[in-house]
């Protein structure tokens, strides 16, 4: 069985204390010496134990106090990525969600994410496939930024020459450039102005962002699934604009992440070659494979739901809506948990919405929502609980139909950092 590309380590390494929390007590010099010695000893032990790599990351925004929001243990004792809790800023016309690397870690670059239609910037830190990518980027020293599109009715990014909109105040390409959104964000959080910007997302807008003279995008990762035939207009328009304006910035490299189950490879293959040979932009295709859906894989990617509820969810659907899932034998991965089957959902069946809500398992708790903070939306863009949206994302990922997928994240981030000259090139 292929499982999501999620970090796991031993449960015994999980710590509940916050090493960055400031103390209000006064310590004697002797005590301070003992504490310093202990810290040095622990550091030496930690350096020799790779299992502790993902503990107590202290990921935070500049304006917040330090907090331990790194990986956590799920019901199976595996260390997995929970919902992340970014900072929120209103920068001009845009609501910006962001996280910086852990305290003391140099910010090497900025990963700027653009969500798909029907989403918000917060989704990149909440939904399971997305947050695994965000977490890995933070581990690599990247600041992660994701903002809301101006159009709050559709959640889509708009540009006048792309979507035929007529309201200039809803043209994200123009507004973001005129307001110099990213530069202002960098000033507010204290990020150096000369670090490279990389763009990643499931929106066509990634191809408008690289035209922004105020940003200078170094490299792009496109997770657009099933839109291969529409990409030509963006690329051809960019080349024409480049002829008229030699100063127009274009990225150094583009990587297309796609799945055979959802994309037209011939379209992406054509434009991949066209960018390499005609536009002279380094371009690459990355074919990622969807994973299967089991109680264990569900508990790995959605630890806030948990293994027991994942098992109840599958049992309920298999018993009451057998036409929505087809059952298959899988590897021994789940045999230790008395569940050696994986399930393939029937895509976009009209009963899915009713079935998931009827389980009664997918409502967010008050404690869970309180942890996210008052600046976070209590429900998704579609008005559903986040647990519901998380399960939907995983089911869509199984089918290769989801916008974002964590599989292949290492290759994607390697590619972006290589072509931004802040990481080694394979």
1-35 tens-digit pLDDT: 333 333 333 333 333 322 222 233 344 444 344 43
Reported as a single tens digit per residue, the pLDDT across 255-285 is 988 876 555 566 677 778 878 887 788 999 8
Domain spans, the chain = 79-290+403-419, 301-398
User: Residue 377, Cβ neighbours under 10 Å: how many?
Assistant: 16
- Distance separating alpha carbons of residues 406 and 123, to the nearest angstrom: 14
Cα distance between residue 209 and residue 203, in whole Å = 10
Confidence at residue 245, expressed as pLDDT on a 0 to 100 scale: 64
User: Distance between CA 394 and CA 362 in Å, rounded?
Assistant: 13
Query: Residue 140's pLDDT is what?
Result: 95
Q: Does domain 79-290+403-419 have CATH number 3.40.50.1820?
A: yes
Query: Which whole number is the average pLDDT over 145-172?
Result: 76
Cα–Cα distance measured from residue 224 to residue 401, given in angstroms and rounded to the nearest whole number: 10
Q: How far apart are CA 232 and CA 270, in angstroms?
A: 9
Q: How far apart are CA 245 and CA 49, in angstroms?
A: 53
Comparison of pLDDT for 98 and 172, the residue scoring more: 98
CA distance 109 to 143: 6
Q: How confident is the model at residue 102 (pLDDT cuts 50, 70, 90)?
A: confident
- Sign, CA dihedral 314-320-324-327, equals positive
CA atoms of 123 and 379, how far apart (whole Å): 10
Q: What is the pLDDT of residue 329?
A: 59
Instruction: Using alpha carbons, select from 71, 17, 136, 82 the residue that is nearest to residue 306.
Output: 82
Which residues does residue 341 pair with via DSSP β-bridges, in sequence order?
329
Over pLDDT 90: what percentage of the chain? 34
CA distance 325 to 328: 10
Q: How confident is the model at residue 109 (pLDDT cuts 50, 70, 90)?
A: very high
Dist. CA 120–CA 116, nearest whole Å: 8
Count each helix (H run) and each strand (E run) in the chain, helices first.
15, 12
pLDDT in tens, 313-331: 999 988 998 888 777 655 5
- Say which residue, 125 or 233, is predicted with more confidence: 125
280-308 confidence digits (pLDDT tens): 889 998 988 777 788 999 999 999 999 99
Q: For 334-392, how does the pLDDT look when each residue is reduced to its tens digit (9 = 90+)?
A: 444 444 567 777 655 678 888 998 999 998 776 666 666 666 788 888 889 999 999 99
Count of beta carbons in the 10 Å neighbourhood of residue 153: 6
Query: For the chain, how far is it from start to end, CA to CA, in angstroms?
Result: 27
**Per-residue pLDDT averaged across 121-133, rounded?**
95
Q: Residue 146 forms beta bridges with which residues? A: 97, 113
CA-nearest of 150, 135, 169, 130 to 90 is 150
Distance CA 411, CA 422 (A): 15
Q: What is the pTM for the complete model shown?
A: 0.78
CB 125 within 8 A of CB 97: yes
> What string of DSSP letters covers 57-97?
---B-TTSPP---S-EE-TTS-EE------EEEEETTEEEE
- What's the mean pLDDT in 141-145? 96
Q: Which residue has the higher pLDDT, 39 or 355?
A: 355
Average pLDDT over residues 138-146: 96
In angstroms, the CA 268 to CA 48 distance is 44
271 or 165, higher pLDDT: 271
What is the rounded CA–CA span in Å between residue 254 and residue 303?
33
The predicted-structure confidence for 86-97, as pLDDT tens digits, reads as follows 999 999 999 999
* Confidence band of 205 (pLDDT split at 50, 70, 90): confident
pLDDT tens for 54-68 read 222 233 333 332 233
The stretch 99-124 carries a mean pLDDT of 92
More confident site: 40 or 187: 187
The whole-chain average pLDDT of the chain stands at 74
Phi, psi values for residue 290, rounded to 5°: -70, 155
Provide mean pLDDT across the span 104-127: 93
pLDDT grade for 417, boundaries at 50, 70 and 90: very high
């Amino acid at each position: 069985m292929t499982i999501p590309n999620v970090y796991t380590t031993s449960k015994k390494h999980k710590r509940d204390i916050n090493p960055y929390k400031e103390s209000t007590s006064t310590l004697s010099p002797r005590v301070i010496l003992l504490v310093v010695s202990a810290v040095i000893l622990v550091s030496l032990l930690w350096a020799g134990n790779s299992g502790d790599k993902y503990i107590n990351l202290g990921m935070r925004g500049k304006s917040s106090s330090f907090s331990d929001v790194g990986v956590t243990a799920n019901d199976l004792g595996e260390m997995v990525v929970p919902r992340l809790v970014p900072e929120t800023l209103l920068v001009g016309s845009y609501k910006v969600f962001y996280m910086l690397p852990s305290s003391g870690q140099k910010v090497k670059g900025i990963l700027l994410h653009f969500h798909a239609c029907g989403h918000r910037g917060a989704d990149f830190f909440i939904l399971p496939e997305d947050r695994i990518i965000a977490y890995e980027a933070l581990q690599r020293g990247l600041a992660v930024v994701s903002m809301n599109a101006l159009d709050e009715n559709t959640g889509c990014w708009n540009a006048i020459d792309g979507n035929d909109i007529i309201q200039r105040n809803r043209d994200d390409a123009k507004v973001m450039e005129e307001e110099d959104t990213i530069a202002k964000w960098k000033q507010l959080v204290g990020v150096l102005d000369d670090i490279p910007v990389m763009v990643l997302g499931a929106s066509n807008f990634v191809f408008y962002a690289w035209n922004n003279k105020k940003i200078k995008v170094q490299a792009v990762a496109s997770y657009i699934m099933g839109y291969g035939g529409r990409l030509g207009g963006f690329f051809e328009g960019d080349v024409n604009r480049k002829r008229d304006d030699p100063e127009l910035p274009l990225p150094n490299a583009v990587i297309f992440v796609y799945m055979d189950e959802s994309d037209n490879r011939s379209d992406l293959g054509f434009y991949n070659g066209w960018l390499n040979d005609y536009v002279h932009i380094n371009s690459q295709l990355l074919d990622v494979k969807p994973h299967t859906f089991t109680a264990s894989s569900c508990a790995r990617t959605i630890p806030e739901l948990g293994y027991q509820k994942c098992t109840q969810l599958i049992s309920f659907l298999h018993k009451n809506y057998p036409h929505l899932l087809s059952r298959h034998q899988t590897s021994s991965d789940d045999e230790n948990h008395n569940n050696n089957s994986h399930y393939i959902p029937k895509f976009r069946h009209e009963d899915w919405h009713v079935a998931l809500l009827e389980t009664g398992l997918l409502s967010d708790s008050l404690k869970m929502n309180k942890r996210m903070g008052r600046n976070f939306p209590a429900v998704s863009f579609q008005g559903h609980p986040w647990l519901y949206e998380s399960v939907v994302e995983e089911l869509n990922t199984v089918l290769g139909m989801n916008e974002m997928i964590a599989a292949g994240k290492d290759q994607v981030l390697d590619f972006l950092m290589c072509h931004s000259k802040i990481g080694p090139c394979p």
